[in-house]
Amino acid sequence: MSIAGIPAVSQAPPSVAPRQWRTIYDIGIGSAPKIALASASAFAFAAFSISRSRSAAPASITSDPVYLLSAAALSTVLIAPWTIVTMRSTNELLDAKLATAETGIPAKEDEELQTLLKKWAGLNGIRSVFPLLGAVLGLLVITS
């Protein structure tokens, strides 16, 4: 969503861009945690089920499906603390830009807004690696 959305938001006038960013943010905050929790729950349930059904642990932790699935579950939910710890200040600054834009006062070109949007897109890109890693780990279990 933000891969395509943020470049488009960056092209919008400064009076519109913060509202567009906020719409992308609201869609993500409304759906991403639920998706992450559902995915992590599925990985955790699979790890638990495997651990209960086997008679002995594998010789190597890197080939242990319980370990891999547990790591997948953890990786998937790491988007929440990552967002809180690393993205909160950027989100707050973008929200301040939104508050300014909503005053109705015509906005001039805003370099800080563009910088914040680029920073947010970068942080969001890093954040997306966590569930991607979870998916890769899950895929390793399925294909091995």
Average pLDDT, the chain: 91
Cβ proximity of 108 and 14 under 8 Å: yes
pLDDT in tens, 13-29: 988 999 999 999 999 99
> For residue 71, what pLDDT band results from cuts at 50, 70 and 90?
very high
| 66 neighbors 47 (Cβ within 8 angstroms) | yes
Element (H, E) at 81: helix 79-82
* pLDDT of amino acid 63: 79
Q: Residue 106 has what DSSP assignment?
A: P
Cα 86 versus chain centre, distance: 11
Q: What gap in Å lies between CA 86 and CA 54, rounded to an integer?
A: 40
Model confidence over 74-127: pLDDT tens digits?
Answer: 999 999 999 999 999 999 999 999 998 888 776 677 899 999 999 999 999 999
Length of the chain: 144
**Reported confidence tier of residue 67, pLDDT bands at 50, 70, 90:** very high
